[in-house]
C-alpha cells in the first residue's frame, strides 16, 4: 500500500513539473512577445495574423511621464518603474490640437508610441523604422491605420509611430519659460520628446526582436521637419543610423527656423491672448493654470501657427540654423533618402538644396520623386500631391487611399477629393516602395537586386528615382516638378 502511495505521489510530482515546463517554456507554446519586459515594466499587445505573417502590435506604450501640471513646458521625464503588466491594446491619447478627428482621445498625456514587430525571436535583431507623423508641428497623430498596419512590418522591419507634444505645448517659447530653465532656453519640447522616444527604443527594442544598432527615422511633411530636427540636434547623436525625409525639407532653407528671441515674442503674444500680463512675476504659473483647450484656441491665428511650425534656434536643442549645421557638416553623418511628390514645388529648390548640403558629410544621399496616381485620379488633370505616397509607403491599399487625410490633401494636386479606387498597379507600387524603404533600413542602400539600382545623388548629375508604376532613374532633380492643373 505504501509502495502504491509513493508511486502515485511520484506520478503527481512529475505531472506538476511537466505542467510548469509547459507554461514557462516558449518551445512548448508560450510566445515570447505575449508579454515583453521593458525598462519600466512589462507590456502586452495583440497578435495580428495577416497573409500568414504574425505581427505583434502594441498600442500606446508610454515612453515618458505625462507632461502635465508642473511638467508642462519641461523636458520629458523618465517613467517610474512598475511591476504590473500594462495592456497596450487600445489607442492612447493624441496631443492637444484642433480636433479634425482621429483615433484616441485628446489630452496632454500624449507621450506614447505604437509598435509592430514581425520578430519570431528576441534574438532576431531586425531593422527598426521609427515614423514621425506630419501635420506641421501642430496637428495629426501617429495613431493611424494608414501607418499602423501589417504590410510594412511584413517586409521584415519593426515599425514604430510616435506621438509627441505639438503646437504651443510642444514648441512655444516665452521669456518666463526661458528664465526658469537651467539652460535658459524654451521651445523645442516636442523635439525633446522625440529624443526621449529614441532613447526608449535604444533601451527596449532588443526585447521586441529589434536591433538598437540599426534604427531608421522617417517622417512626412512636419514629420520630415522632425527628422531634420533630430539630424541637427547634438542631443540626438547616436540614437539613429539612417533617415528618410518625405516632403519635409523646408526647415533646411536659410530662413527655415526662428530665433529664440523672435519665438519668445510670439509666446508673449499667446500669453496676452490668454489674458496674462507679460509683466507679471508669475507668468509661468499662470500659463500652466490654463487648460490645453484655452491654449490651442489662443494659437488659432496664422502668424502664431506659422511660428509654431518652425524649429527654434535655442542654442542647445538646435544650436544654430538647420542650414548652417548642414553646411558645416555638423549634422548626423547617416545615409539619407530625401524627396517629394511630383506636384510639390519643393522639388525645384528645397529638396535639391538639402541633398546638396549633404556633401559636407561622407554618408550617401538618395533622391526620389513620387509620381504615381491611383486609377480614378489618372483620368483627371491632376498630379501626385503632398502626402499621397503615405498609403504606398505603409502598404495600406486600398483603404489608405480614401483616408481622411489623403482626401483632404487631394485638391493640392488638382485632384477631386473622392475615393480614387485602387488596382493592381497600386499594389505593385506599394510593394516596391515598401521593399525600397525596408532595404534602406536594413543596409543604408535602397537599391534592391532585381528591382532597381538606385544611384546615390550627386550635385552634377542630380540623379533621382522616379517612383511610379515603373521605377526609373532620371537626371536633373529640379525639373521633375509638374505644376498641378486646376479641375
According to the 3-state scheme, what is the secondary structure of the chain?
CHHHHHHHHHHHHHHHHHHHHHHHCHHHCCCCCCEEEECCEEEECEEEEECCEEEEEEEEEECCCCCCHHHCCCCCCCCCCCCCCEECCCCCCECCCCCCCCCCCECCCCCEEEEEECCCCCCCCEEEEEEECCCCCCCCCCCCCCCCCCCCHHHCCEEEEECCCCHHHHHCCCHHHHHHCCCCCCCCHHHHHHHHHHHHHHHHHHHHCEEEEEEEEEEECHHHHHHHHHHHCHHHCCCCCEEEEECCCHHHCCCCCEEHHHHHHHHHHHHHHCCCCCCCCCHHHHHHHCCHHHHHHHCCCHHHHHHHCCCEECCCCCCCCHHHHHHCCCCCCCCEEEEEECCCHHHHCHHHHHHHHHHHCCCCEEEEEECCCCHHHHCCCCCCCCCCCHHHHCCCCCHHHHCHHHHHHHHHHCCCCCCCCCCHHHHHHHHHHHHHHHHHHHHCCCCECCCECCCCCCCCCCCEEEECCCEEEECCHHHHCCCCCCC
Residue (of 151, 156, 143, 251) closest to 211 by Cα position:
156
* C-alpha 127, offset from chain centre: 15
pLDDT of residue 28: 42
Q: Are 477 and 460 in contact (CB under 8 A)?
A: no
In whole angstroms, give the CA distance from residue 74 to residue 192: 9
| Residue 154: all three cell numbers together | 511584413
Give the pLDDT confidence score for residue 13 in this predicted structure.
47
pTM of the model: 0.93
CB atoms within 10 A of CB 63: 26
User: In angstroms, rounded to a whole number, what is the distance separating the alpha carbons of residues 188 and 73?
Assistant: 9
The reported pLDDT for the residue numbered 486 is 67
- Letter string b/e over residues 168-199, b meaning 16 or more CB atoms within 10 A of that residue's CB: bbbbbbbbbbbeebeeebbbbbbbbbbbbbbb
Bond from prior residue into 105 cis (ω within 30 degrees of 0) = no
CB-based burial label for 203 (10 Å; 0-12, 13-18, 19+)? middle
**What is the spatial distance between Cα 125 and Cα 50, in angstroms, rounded to a whole number?**
22
Query: Which pLDDT belongs to residue 5?
Result: 52
Distance separating alpha carbons of residues 435 and 160, to the nearest angstrom: 17
With contact defined as beta carbons under 8 Å apart, do 286 and 174 qualify?
no
Q: What is the pLDDT along the chain (487 residues), one digit of tens a residue?
A: 444 554 555 545 444 444 444 344 444 446 889 999 999 999 999 999 987 789 999 999 999 999 999 999 999 999 999 999 999 999 999 999 998 778 999 999 999 999 999 999 999 999 999 999 999 999 999 999 999 999 999 999 999 999 999 999 999 999 999 999 999 999 999 999 999 999 999 999 999 999 999 999 999 999 999 999 999 999 999 999 999 999 999 999 999 999 999 999 999 999 999 999 999 889 999 999 999 999 999 998 888 888 899 999 999 999 999 999 999 999 999 999 999 999 999 999 999 999 999 999 999 999 999 999 999 999 899 999 999 999 999 999 999 999 999 999 999 999 999 999 999 999 999 999 999 999 999 999 999 999 999 999 999 999 999 999 999 999 999 999 999 986 4
Amino acid at each position: 500500500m505504501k509502495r502504491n502511495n509513493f508511486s502515485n505521489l511520484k506520478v503527481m510530482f512529475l505531472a506538476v513539473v511537466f505542467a510548469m515546463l509547459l507554461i514557462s517554456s516558449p518551445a512548448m507554446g508560450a510566445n515570447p512577445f505575449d508579454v515583453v519586459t521593458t525598462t519600466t515594466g512589462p507590456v502586452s499587445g495583440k497578435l495580428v495574423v495577416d497573409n500568414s505573417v504574425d505581427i505583434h502590435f502594441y498600442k500606446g506604450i508610454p515612453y515618458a511621464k505625462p507632461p502635465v501640471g508642473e511638467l508642462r513646458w519641461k523636458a520629458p521625464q523618465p517613467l517610474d518603474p512598475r511591476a504590473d503588466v500594462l495592456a497596450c491594446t487600445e489607442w492612447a491619447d493624441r496631443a492637444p490640437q484642433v480636433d479634425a478627428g482621429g483615433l484616441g482621445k485628446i489630452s496632454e498625456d500624449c507621450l506614447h508610441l505604437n509598435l509592430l514587430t514581425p520578430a519570431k525571436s528576441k534574438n532576431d535583431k531586425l531593422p527598426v523604422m521609427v515614423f514621425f507623423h506630419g501635420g506641421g508641428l501642430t496637428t495629426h497623430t501617429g495613431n493611424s491605420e494608414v501607418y499602423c498596419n501589417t504590410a510594412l512590418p511584413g517586409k521584415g522591419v519593426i515599425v514604430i509611430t510616435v506621438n509627441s507634444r505639438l503646437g504651443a505645448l510642444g514648441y512655444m517659447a516665452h521669456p518666463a519659460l526661458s528664465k526658469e530653465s537651467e539652460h535658459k532656453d524654451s521651445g523645442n519640447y516636442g523635439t525633446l520628446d522625440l529624443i526621449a522616444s529614441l532613447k526608449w527604443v535604444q533601451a527596449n527594442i532588443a526585447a521586441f526582436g529589434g536591433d538598437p544598432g540599426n534604427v531608421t527615422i522617417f517622417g512626412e511633411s512636419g514629420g520630415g521637419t522632425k527628422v531634420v530636427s533630430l539630424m541637427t540636434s547634438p542631443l540626438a547623436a547616436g540614437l539613429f543610423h539612417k533617415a528618410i525625409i518625405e516632403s519635409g525639407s523646408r526647415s533646411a532653407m536659410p530662413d527655415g527656423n526662428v530665433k529664440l528671441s523672435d519665438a519668445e515674442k510670439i509666446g508673449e503674444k499667446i500669453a496676452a491672448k490668454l489674458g496674462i500680463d507679460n509683466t507679471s512675476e508669475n507668468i509661468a504659473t499662470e500659463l500652466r493654470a490654463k487648460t490645453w483647450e484655452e491654449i490651442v484656441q489662443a494659437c488659432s491665428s496664422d502668424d502664431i501657427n506659422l511660428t509654431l511650425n518652425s524649429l527654434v534656434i535655442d542654442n542647445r536643442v538646435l544650436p544654430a540654423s538647420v542650414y548652417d549645421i548642414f553646411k558645416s557638416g555638423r549634422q548626423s553623418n547617416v545615409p539619407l533618402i530625401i524627396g517629394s511628390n511630383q506636384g510639390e514645388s519643393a522639388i525645384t529648390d528645397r529638396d535639391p538644396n538639402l541633398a546638396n548640403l549633404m556633401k559636407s558629410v561622407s554618408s550617401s544621399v538618395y533622391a526620389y520623386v513620387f509620381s504615381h496616381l491611383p486609377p480614378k485620379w489618372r483620368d483627371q488633370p491632376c498630379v501626385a500631391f503632398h502626402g499621397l505616397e503615405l498609403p504606398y509607403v505603409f502598404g495600406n491599399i486600398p483603404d489608405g487611399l480614401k483616408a481622411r487625410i489623403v482626401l483632404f490633401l487631394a485638391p493640392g494636386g488638382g485632384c477631386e477629393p473622392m475615393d480614387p479606387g485602387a488596382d493592381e498597379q497600386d499594389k505593385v507600387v506599394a510593394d516596391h516602395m515598401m521593399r525600397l524603404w525596408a532595404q534602406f533600413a536594413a543596409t543604408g542602400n535602397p537599391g534592391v537586386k532585381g528591382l532597381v539600382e538606385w544611384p546615390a545623388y550627386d550635385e552634377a548629375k542630380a540623379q533621382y528615382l522616379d517612383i511610379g508604376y515603373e521605377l526609373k532613374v532620371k537626371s536633373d532633380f529640379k525639373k521633375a516638378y509638374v505644376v498641378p492643373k486646376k479641375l
